[in-house]
Amino acid sequence: MRRLSRNFILPSIMNTVRGIALRSLRLALFHFRKDISAPSSGPRAGTRYGTATSLTPSLQSTRAIRTGLKFLVIIFCFLGAGLSSRMAHSTTSILFSRFTDIAWGKRSRVILDVGCGVASFGGYMFDRDVLTMSFAPKDEHEAQVQFALERGIPAISAVMGTKRLPYPSRVFDVIHCARCRVPWHIEGGKLLLELNRLLRPGGYFVWSATPVYQKLPEDVEIWNAMSSLTKSMCWKMVKKTKDTLNQVGMAIYQKPMDNNCYEKRSEDSPPLCKETDDADAAWNVPLQACIPKLPIGPSVRGSKWPEMWPQRLEKTPFWIDGSRVGVYGKPANEDFEADYAHWKRVVSKSYVNGMGIDWSKVRNVMDMRAVYGGFAAALRDQKVWVMNIVPIDSPDTLPIVYERGLFGMYHDWCESFSTYPRTYDLLHADHLFSKLKKRCKLLGVFAEVDRILRPEGKLIVRDNAETISELEGMAKSLRWEVRMTYAKDKEGLLCVQKTTWRPKEIEASM
């Protein structure tokens, strides 16, 4: 029988306790009537999720429930998430001190955390100028992603399974998987090959899991399988290390910068992908067990590492030049610069100073139709993160967003978004809805906006006047507060605030 180590028992006990706490907290969240202000700085990690005064009167009246709830909140925050925070801090401190080539917050800016739990790792990194796209499924770990978002840490609900993740190829500087349970070595390494697609040439994969540091037969078997798989993918193991305090170990691999190693392999296994396979296609695309060839040529994306952070935020990516036309019709490099100048002006003149938004209460922001990420870049001085969505029917500008050290994903707004209800503080949509209504009903999309926006959260829309007027009507029907509406030359601007109003059951069933 498999020996139960401390690393196995402790998390298992914590998962059980966390499960109980989560169920109780979900009950509380269900009864929420009021938004909880975010602290003025830093992630909400470690803060309480609510006080008894933010619950409905019926719950408030039950003193026992109130006391029990507080107790469970404490258990969850300080023992549950706290435990993984401590583990994250311990392994992360190794990453910082023993492997300086990663250069967090400079060379490595945008990273992917696979199987993030409550995303303590991403929260720790955020304060160090590293932007982490964390993801995990809804499994026995319950609503882990909901808790990450509630703490103000970016995360989405997703799984490494049968389809590609909704990101372009070669965009993540580092990929991380701690206390990792993903079976990378099975099915010809399909899942690890997906990470290979996403990793920037020269980027690192940090893998912390029992096969790296324990010697049980199962661990040894997995370690051997991983070693031959990573070798066949031309990943070089650049470090294998152990934390002296908790004995947790990690292996760090580096993806090659060019195709030399692929060409020298004695066997074409895993095979190189066919020329016809578009490595950036990532919406409903089944996983492929193949390796995309790396780009060659000085002006091709991925052939060079981006500028260091924060220079990369403002610099036009080296592979965007005037030979192609940009989204707004100018030569691509001028288009990029004009877009950034536009959003800096709009954000500073209107959103930050002219709209009455208290930015200290805003943390989780989404740009529902990002182009080059100009809106997110212009918000750099605010303590927020922005999920940049590039709709699947728009020009594929997501690699540009990543190149400048921001992050985002592809999405089809005619479908629901992969997040929990009430998880975003502010949504921004620039000329999204007028395009969308050609493909699906606006009312359905607005219902999704209502689902993901937190009570008292805001929606800012820029669009044609006709669409603005339709959206204003929908917002009013949900008893949202219209904070600002403006129209000129057939173009309009709308800022609305969601309230705590909900339809009564009778109204909802009509």
Ligand X SMILES: C[S@@+](CC[C@H](N)C(=O)[O-])C[C@H]1O[C@@H](n2cnc3c(N)ncnc32)[C@H](O)[C@@H]1O
Instruction: Kindly list the residues in this chain that would bind ligand X in the complex (CB under 6 A).
Output: 11, 84, 87, 114-117, 136-137, 139, 141, 144, 159-161, 178-179, 181-182
Query: In the bound complex, what is the minimum distance in angstroms from residue 248's beta carbon to ligand X?
Result: 9
Give residue number: closest CB to ligand X.
115
Do the beta carbons of residue 440 and residue 416 sit within 8 Å? Answer: no
Which residue, 178 or 357, has its beta carbon nearer to ligand X? 178
Query: In the bound complex, what is the minimum distance in angstroms from residue 83's beta carbon to ligand X?
Result: 8
Q: Which of 342, 429, 344 is nearest to 380 (CA)?
A: 344
Length of the chain, in residues: 510
Query: In the bound complex, what is the minimum distance in angstroms from residue 139's beta carbon to ligand X?
Result: 5
Which residue, 187 or 358, has its beta carbon nearer to ligand X? 187
Q: Is 237 helix (H, G, I), strand (E, B) or coil?
A: strand
Which residue, 38 or 155, has its beta carbon nearer to ligand X? 155
Q: Which of 501, 441, 349 is nearest to 33 (CA)?
A: 501
Query: In the bound complex, what is the minimum distance in angstroms from residue 236's beta carbon to ligand X?
Result: 24
DSSP label of 320: -
Q: Which of 207, 200, 293, 317 is nearest to 251 (CA)?
A: 207
Which residue, 33 or 86, has its beta carbon nearer to ligand X? 86
Which residue, 179 or 315, has its beta carbon nearer to ligand X? 179
Phi, psi of 426, rounded to the nearest 5 degrees: -150, 130
Q: Which run of H or of E encompasses 231?
A: helix 217-232
Spatial distance between the Cα atoms of 265 and 394, rounded to a whole number of angstroms: 38
Which residue, 134 or 397, has its beta carbon nearer to ligand X? 134
Taking each continuous run of H as one helix and of E as one strand, the counts in the chain are 18, 14
Query: In the bound complex, what is the minimum distance in angstroms from residue 264's beta carbon to ligand X?
Result: 32
> Following DSSP, what letter does each residue of 181-209 receive, concatenated?
---TTSGGGHHHHHHHHHEEEEEEEEEES
Query: In the bound complex, what is the minimum distance in angstroms from residue 197's beta carbon to ligand X?
Result: 15
Task: Name the residue with tokens 């389809």.
Answer: 163
Query: In the bound complex, what is the minimum distance in angstroms from residue 307's beta carbon to ligand X?
Result: 30
Burial of 147 (0-12, 13-18, 19+ CB in 10 A): buried
Spatial distance between the Cα atoms of 32 and 54, rounded to a whole number of angstroms: 6
Query: In the bound complex, what is the minimum distance in angstroms from residue 389's beta carbon to ligand X?
Result: 21
Q: For 250-273, give one letter per residue: b (16+ CB within 10 A) or e.
A: bbbbbbbbebeebeeeeeeebeeb
Which residue, 141 or 458, has its beta carbon nearer to ligand X? 141
Query: In the bound complex, what is the minimum distance in angstroms from residue 208's beta carbon to ligand X?
Result: 8
The neighbouring-strand residues paired with 204 are: 174, 254
Q: Which of 155, 235, 156, 243 is nearest to 192 (CA)?
A: 235
Query: In the bound complex, what is the minimum distance in angstroms from residue 217's beta carbon to ligand X?
Result: 21
Which residue, 139 or 393, has its beta carbon nearer to ligand X? 139
Spatial distance between the Cα atoms of 405 and 317, rounded to a whole number of angstroms: 11
Do the beta carbons of residue 498 and residue 453 sit within 8 Å? Answer: yes
Query: In the bound complex, what is the minimum distance in angstroms from residue 201's beta carbon to ligand X?
Result: 24
Which residue, 122 or 374, has its beta carbon nearer to ligand X? 122
Which residue, 209 or 377, has its beta carbon nearer to ligand X? 209
482: left (phi over 0), alpha (psi -120 to 50) or beta: beta
Q: Is 307 helix (H, G, I), strand (E, B) or coil?
A: coil
Which residue, 114 or 460, has its beta carbon nearer to ligand X? 114
Give whole-number Cα distances, 320 to 309, 326, 336, in Å.
18, 9, 9
